[in-house]
Chains A and B, each alone.
Chain A
């Protein structure tokens, strides 16, 4: 099976900083996985996400997406990935249709395809009735759905999700989770990070925990819970990272 993500001996620290944020990290995410990355605040989750999406550049080690080294194939890997940032990353003055028109064009879609995907996604995510309303007037849940819709317009091979359901009600959470599972069934690899561990248990089939820039465990969720004699991800998390403040 082709690896969706293959990270080998990755080190990372910001310029002019002595703090090693990622240290000798190795990680493999299989194609079609629903992969969850967890860890305390400051453990290196966001840094690792940014490295995998090409937002920051590494100098030591290797990160490959579907066999393509990221730093040498930036344009190619940008076509393969979708990213749902934790912040609302769209234009609040524009409507969902206008946002999707703009980001769809930037994702390389033509006019016809943009219209097809816009209609399809707004319908799936129940945003059709507000398709021409400025997003600034939306509730938090509706904004989260717009944030997700924009990221999947170009049908990426791999979708990175940073806290995709933070601040939404239970109905929206279930709707987003159901949609992500349906995407995964169609072949999209999911790389997900969140502090919602119950939600993660429901979504993820493979889990890794990161602490102090290192992967401390990585396996199938079922195996991990069995090996560590835990009933849920929360217990496993506390068992491995402790109860002390970490930020």
Chain B
């Protein structure tokens, strides 16, 4: 134990004297967590709380198009502006082009007439099909001129689809309203009462939104809840820069040669490095979780809800740290230079983060990635953390994530031992 303790002490001393390495391991991930959580939180708010700014140019300005404006307002996702200085579609387009607005809608002239005519014809056709008395022949109207949406190209597809969905919903409501009105008028020769119109047109089925969690106490997940575990894992695996280089440095500066002539098994050095860096990753997690819990609210970001099963959180953090240390040692064993270790280490972590669901949610990935995802240890770390942070699970609920993570860790250990043996270092 004395040898192991002295070796850990040696590793800690070297680590704490590498200020750039420490900055990379602690400050960078903290900055990353704060920036990404802030950015994603504003995206969450944009979609869920804030409204998308929308320019509207109404060339019709009659009953139906004004009703459509009202319906768009009621969709709840748009903040509608109607600038008075727009005189034609080209001006509207130009405003989008110059980024005055990212989205604009152009309602064509005579839109109301066409919609009313269409509603009248649909209702007459319905009455004829029901063998009810109806005026002479059905004349089909001219095709309805399209409503145009202008997007700036920077707008992401997910946003465009949300806006399309919102517009389609408003259009559907307006068209249905006028068909129902027309139908009622043809049958009863009077206007439909507002209360009845509302009952027919307005959706009567309430929708509840519930986050399904094992722990019923958990609320709706927010950006912090998603981001903090993800970027903590990223930070843990980024120790590859420090630890991988440390292993290479030891090989290159010849200290490993001296160690091999001393009567102590080299495994002590490997165990020491793992324990030291598991401690580092644990501290990283503690610092980032604390920032999420206590600092984020003062920055206007949602606070991190810490899981109830703290024991499971500690175990998962230790296992993730062990896996990260094993990966870094493996990189260090096979790399011949510090440049190789740093370059390969950094790129591989970004790649494993990408395929592991840290950058893009795994459910949104192509089907062909189904098996590749499982090769990334970061994926299993993330799933284990999400099981605790988002689903409110306990240790037994996330065993299916911990077992593959431990398997990958053991494979990395075996690979490192094979590399050390092959390079005649043990």
Identify the interface centre among A56, A82, A106: most chain B CB within 10 Å of its CB. Answer: A106
CB within 8 Å of A: which of B251-290?
253-255, 257-264, 268
Interchain CB contact under 8 A, B17 and A87: no
CB of B258 within 8 A of CB of A93, answer: no
B2 close to chain A: CB less than 8 A: yes
Kindly state the separation between the CA atoms of A98 and B6 in the bound complex, as whole angstroms.
9
User: Which residues of A lie under 8 Å from residue B10 when comparing CB positions?
Assistant: 91, 94, 98, 101-102
B18 within 8 A of A: yes
Once A56-B424, A93-B18, A111-B2 are accepted as A-B contacts, the answer to whether A75 and B263 lie under 8 Å apart by CB is yes
Residues of chain A within 8 A (CB-CB) of B87 are none
Tell yes or no: B14 within 8 A of A by CB: yes
| B238-262 contacts to A (CB < 8 Å) | 253-255, 257-262
A155: shortest Cβ distance to chain B, in Å?
Answer: 13
Chain A residue nearest in CB terms to B256 = A89
* Residues of chain B lying within 8 A (CB to CB) of residue A106: 3, 6-7, 259, 262-264, 268
State how many angstroms separate the Cβ of A108 from the closest Cβ of chain B.
5
A7 on interface, CB distance cutoff 8 Å: no
A85 CB within 8 Å of chain B: yes
| Interface status of B208 (Cβ within 8 A of chain A) | no
* A188 at the binding interface (Cβ < 8 Å): no
**Once the chains bind, are B255 and A90 in contact (CB under 8 Å)?**
yes
Interface contact B263-A78, CB-CB below 8 Å: yes
> 8 Å CB contacts to A: which residues of B1-50?
2-3, 6-7, 9-10, 13-14, 17-18
Question: Across the interface, do A78 and B14 meet the contact criterion of CB distance under 8 Å?
Answer: no
CB neighbours (8 Å) of A55 from chain B are: 257, 260-261
Q: Contact check, B263 vs A108: say whether CB atoms are below 8 A apart.
A: yes
Ordered nearest first, which 8 A-B pairs have the shortest CB separation?
Answer: A87-B254, A78-B263, A89-B258, A105-B6, A89-B254, A106-B262, A83-B261, A106-B264
Please count how many residues in chain A sit with their CB below 8 Å of the partner chain's CB atoms: 32
CB pair B263–A107 under 8 Å, yes or no, is yes
4 other contacts beyond A92-B253, A108-B262, A108-B264, with CB at 8 A cut-off?
Answer: A79-B263, A83-B261, A90-B255, A151-B258
State whether B261 touches A90 (Cβ < 8 A). Answer: no
A110 closest partner in B (C-beta): B2
- Please report the number of residue pairs spanning A and B whose Cβ atoms sit closer than 8 angstroms: 80
Shortest beta-carbon distance, B272 to chain A, in Å?
10
Q: Are B17 and A78 in contact (CB under 8 A)?
A: no
| A85-123 near B? 1/0 per residue, CB < 8 Å | 101111111100010011101111011000000000000
27 contacts between A and B (CB under 8 A): A54-B261, A55-B257, A56-B424, A78-B262, A81-B261, A83-B257, A83-B258, A85-B257, A85-B258, A88-B254, A90-B253, A90-B255, A91-B14, A91-B255, A92-B253, A93-B18, A94-B14, A102-B6, A103-B262, A106-B3, A106-B6, A106-B7, A106-B263, A108-B262, A134-B17, A150-B258, A151-B258
A53 interfacial by beta-carbon distance below 8 Å: yes
The interface residues of chain A lying within 8 Å CB-to-CB of B13 are 93-94, 98
Closest Cβ of chain B: how far from A43's Cβ, in Å? 20
CA of A83 to CA of B254, assembled, Å: 12
In whole angstroms, what is the CA distance A88 to B255 when docked? 8
Q: What residues of chain B lie closer than 8 Å to A103, measured between beta carbons?
A: 258, 262
B263 to A89, Cβ gap below 8 A? no
Chain B residue nearest in CB terms to A92: B253
Residue of B whose beta carbon sits closest to that of A95: B13
Q: Which residues of A contact B253 (CB under 8 A)?
A: 87-92
Closest to A83 in B: B261
Residue of A nearest to B252 (CB): A87
Interface size class of B (residues with CB under 8 A): 20 to 34
A55→B257 CA distance, assembly (Å): 8
Seen from chain A, the residues whose Cβ lies within 8 Å of a Cβ on chain B are 53-56, 75, 78-79, 81-83, 85, 87-94, 98, 101-103, 105-108, 110-111, 134, 150-151
Q: Please, how many angstroms separate the alpha-carbon atoms of A105 and B5 in the complex? A: 10
CB distance from B18 to the nearest CB of A (A): 7
Minimum CB–CB distance from B253 to chain A (whole Å) comes to: 7
Q: How far is the CA of A92 from the CA of B250 in the complex (A)?
A: 10
Q: In the docked arrangement, what's the CA distance between A88 and B249, Å?
A: 12
Once the chains are docked, how many angstroms separate the CA of A247 from the CA of B258?
27
The interface residues of chain A lying within 8 Å CB-to-CB of B262 are 78, 103, 106-108
Which of A55, A81, A93, A150 has the largest count of B CB atoms less than 10 A from its CB? Answer: A93
- B257 pairs with A89, CB closer than 8 A: yes
Alpha-carbon separation in the docked complex, A78 to B261 (Å): 6
- A113 smallest CB distance to B (angstroms): 11
Nearest chain A residue, comparing its CB with the CB of B266: A106
- Roughly how many angstroms separate A82 CA and B263 CA in the complex, as a whole number? 11
Query: Contacts A93-B14, A98-B13 known; A87 to B257 CB distance under 8 Å?
Result: yes
Residue in B13, B253, B258 with the greatest tally of chain A CB atoms within 10 Å = B258
Residue of A nearest to B7 (CB): A102
- Interface pair B263/A53, CB less than 8 Å apart: no
| Across-interface contacts of B261 in A (CB, < 8 A) | 53-55, 78, 81-83
Residues of B near A89 (CB, < 8 A) are: 253-255, 257-258
Using Cβ atoms and an 8 Å threshold, which residues of chain A touch B263? 75, 78-79, 106-108
Chain A minimum-CB-distance residue to B265: A75
A110 and B264 CA atoms in complex are apart in Å by: 13
Chain A residues with CB below 8 A from B255, complex form = 89-91
CB nearest to A82 among chain B residues: B261
Whether B3 lies near A105 (C-beta < 8 A) is yes
Interface centre among B9, B10, B18, B260 (most CB of A within 10 A): B10
- Specify the chain B residue showing the minimal Cβ separation from A15: B424
**Contact status A105-B2, CB under 8 Å:** yes
Q: Closest approach, in angstroms, between the C-beta of A97 and any C-beta of chain B?
A: 11
